[in-house]
Structure 1
């Protein structure tokens, strides 16, 4: 970054505050060099992009790429963007990447505090677990591709939140293995933020998994992760997880019988006793029955009673 001088960073209040928070006693230039935040040039060491994002007083003005976050509130559950659907003009959040994360969280929480929508004739609040929103937002900021000239876009709809982060998934990460594999596009950013006390990230590859678990706790479906032409789109739906009973009945509408093992497989719920209890409730309600009452317990198969009566 030829436009930025080392002194610009060393004298920045953001850098001075960081040094105080991590209690570093190193010489500022030595600290930056050892943290791989400087690049050697013919004229000496220069701050790199990660350094500017972390410590520059106006990184959005300094960098020749867009690196802000835009927040929208759209009063619709549709997928077509129209300006007249905006509740207010999109808000642009600038600043260092750490400050962006906290400022966006505050703005989103304020929007959600009185966000409602109509479902089945009833007014419902748009409510999501804060930790899930935090993890997905942090993931978008620290893993985006900063070489792409675009901002992160956070769109709050009546039935979902969409977070669009520039750049495809890094390395060998895919939507299918993202919960199991780890790969950091911006390791310097991840490390520097993690080194802070009470960091925004924990750097153990658990961010999206934590988000999924937090959504599960309140009965909402897991985030939908998709790759577009040049970005990653994560959608947090305000959609309830189907109960085990509903999963069983839906499966039996398409198949002649079902087993405990099959329901554990398709529901992702590995608790054999919880699935067993769901089968017992449906049997008690007269909705399903055993195909063979004399079968061993581990060989139980269940079928819909209504379909049997219809055939008779």
Structure 2
């Protein structure tokens, strides 16, 4: 007979099963059905009355809760059903905490235990007091926040002190200690307190690493440093739209920034792992330690959804600074921005003990719908296909391919050069050849 997260079958009672009941209490409650074996056969018990007296006392003494213990007849045999409810506060058994995952009972330790206790006491890691003091706060970042937040925080004044700003943002505890969120957001060097509060950006060729940049500092600075580190390894072209030049990167920069902000908001800062960004030839991977809240699944991230930020104080400060639109919209915005650039839809995955986001490059920028969006005509599209197959094209070859005059051929090719799609080599005239632009990726 199958066992579930909230049901377990036992052929006899043992005191060690108090751990299982403790796990039920700390999860969603559950039932321990005794004297039924794993195959669902009712074995039965002769002293059910005595157990109905003993088991509740043992549970109350060890776990501090009152269970429901009943006896019933199953296939002509007495069985005992022990039911315990979920509780709002954490429950221990012999000083240890247990939780249920599927049909497995496991002891909580380390970061897992810390996060469990925070959740039970309705606290978040970013709301706890840090060891930082006001000398550790970076005034430049405070002033940056003042400028960014003026639209959304009308009461904010240039004259406001650091203490007042942090207090209004709920970044001070009741006894005026700077919270973890406060030092991460506004600290001169938060890594003095939390060494893994950083973002590691790497450029990879297959599995070989070509370049690494570690982005440190407070979260405002860290996000921007990481964006700049990523841009170093991206190609950029431009298009002329309404007489203005518009840069087109391999991936939308706003989507990259959104992914980084999501990572710092949802990171499990009690973990020793850093936020990671891995740049490959055809993709970028963003990863932060942590897990999805139990209210959400991966499919929910593809649409607007309720927000359950791991670090709500950090999320709220980024919102007030105008760096996120509104809670629960970030992942959907990432998808929309990539679609607008005709890129494959990003993928969200639970992997390696965290949340991964994969961006995929349009490895062929010469896809016809993209070129039409750039304002290219059918002649230019055919010419690019020709160059891909033959390596280059001359003015004369373009004239023959498109059946146009030299003047039209020159005008078409010059536009492709201006858009940074083609590069021209050789002297003016018969020696001029046009090649697909080569981008350097250091």
Which TM class, normalised by the smaller chain length?
Answer: 0.5 to 0.7
Say yes or no: does 1:95 pair with 2:222: no
**Is the 2:172–2:178 Cα contact (8 Å) retained in structure 1?**
yes
- SS of equivalent to 1:132: helix
Residue 5 of structure 1 is matched in structure 2 by 133
2:259 alignment partner, one of 136, 141, 153 = 136
CA shift for structure 1 position 177 = 1.1
Distance 1:36 1:100 in 2: 22
**Please, which runs of 5 or more residues in structure 1 have no aligned partner?**
115-124, 244-312
**Is the 2:131–2:178 Cα contact (8 Å) retained in structure 1?**
no
**Is the 2:219–2:264 Cα contact (8 Å) retained in structure 1?**
yes
Provide TM-score, normalisation by structure 1.
0.63
Residue 219 of structure 1 is matched in structure 2 by 342
Cα separation, partners in 2 of 1:55 and 1:126, compared to 1, 3 Å:
closer
CA shift for structure 1 position 93 = 0.6
Residue 310 of structure 1 is matched in structure 2 by none
- Relative to total residues, which structure has the larger strand share, 1 or 2? 2
Cα separation, partners in 2 of 1:129 and 1:29, compared to 1, 3 Å:
closer
CA shift for structure 1 position 137 = 1.8
2:308 alignment partner, one of 158, 183, 206 = 183
Q: Aligned pairs, how many? A: 218
Distance 1:57 1:97 in 2: 10
Residue 51 of structure 1 is matched in structure 2 by 182
Say yes or no: does 1:231 pair with 2:354: yes
Cα separation, partners in 2 of 1:128 and 1:3, compared to 1, 3 Å:
same
Say yes or no: does 1:37 pair with 2:168: no
Cα separation, partners in 2 of 1:112 and 1:221, compared to 1, 3 Å:
same
Residue 110 of structure 1 is matched in structure 2 by 232
Provide TM-score, normalisation by structure 2.
0.45
CA offset digits 1:247-293 (Å, max 9, x no partner): xxxxxxxxxxxxxxxxxxxxxxxxxxxxxxxxxxxxxxxxxxxxxxx
2:319 alignment partner, one of 169, 177, 194 = 194
**Is the 1:72–1:91 Cα contact (8 Å) retained in structure 2?**
yes
Distance 1:15 1:53 in 2: 12
Distance 2:289 2:130 in 1: 24
**Is the 1:126–1:159 Cα contact (8 Å) retained in structure 2?**
no
Larger radius of gyration: 2
Residue 202 of structure 2 is matched in structure 1 by 72
Cα separation, partners in 2 of 1:204 and 1:3, compared to 1, 3 Å:
closer
Residue 85 of structure 2 is matched in structure 1 by none
CA offset digits 1:67-113 (Å, max 9, x no partner): 1001111112xxxx4xxx1222x210101111111111111112113
- SS of equivalent to 1:163: strand
CA shift for structure 1 position 231 = 0.5
Q: How does 1:278-293 map to 2 (within 5 A)?
A: none
Residue 265 of structure 1 is matched in structure 2 by none
Cα separation, partners in 2 of 1:2 and 1:233, compared to 1, 3 Å:
closer
- SS of equivalent to 1:86: strand
Across the aligned residues of Structure 1 and Structure 2, the Cα RMSD in angstroms comes to 2.7
- SS of equivalent to 1:46: coil
Distance 2:164 2:177 in 1: 13
**Is the 1:112–1:126 Cα contact (8 Å) retained in structure 2?**
yes
CA shift for structure 1 position 45 = 1.9
